[in-house]
Amino acid sequence: MGRRLPLFSPTGVSLVEIMVALVVIVVGLAALRHAFPTHLATEQQALEQVQATLLGKNQLEQLRLRGFAVLATAPLATTPEPFVDSQQQVIDGPFRWQAEVYHEAEDLLAVHVRVVWPWPAQTHLVRLATYVSRH
């Protein structure tokens, strides 16, 4: 019958076995190292997405507060504009916004805000919308 090899050798581990184990460890660590930059880039994209959404929601609320009459007649910019704070100071950053207003019914407006970044490449965007009624 076949002779069974012992799991552990009483003479120890050979140099070849140690080298194979080291190669396996190095390959595993290299693969792990390449996974982290991707994770960090994904985290940065998620952070930018949240920032753009919050800026867009704030801008949408400011537009909604202008009221039906102003939104129905006011001209809106045709190219994305920088965000401004409550003191009308430009907020430094890669985000720009653009709004569009559509007449859904006689007394109902659909307000859409588009946030793009980085400027001017506009490779990412968030779209938000709300409705404003006459009453």
Q: How many CA atoms lie within 13 A of 105 on its CB side?
A: 7
Q: Encode pLDDT of 49-105 as tens digits.
A: 999 999 999 999 999 999 999 999 988 887 888 888 878 888 888 899 999 999 999
* Number of helices followed by number of strands (H, E) in the chain: 2, 4
Is 6 inside a domain boundary?
no
Per the structure, the count of domains in the chain is 1
Instruction: Please tell me the distance from the alpha carbon of residue 59 to that of residue 80, in angstroms, as a whole number.
Output: 12
Q: What is the pLDDT of residue 57?
A: 94
Amino acid letter, 97: W
Is 3 inside a domain boundary?
no
Question: What residues make up the domain containing 38?
Answer: 15-133
Cβ-based neighbour number of residue 95 at 10 Å: 23
Is 67 inside a domain boundary?
yes
Is 119 inside a domain boundary?
yes
Note the pTM of the prediction, 2 decimals: 0.68
Is 82 inside a domain boundary?
yes
H-state helical runs in the chain: 15-66, 68-73
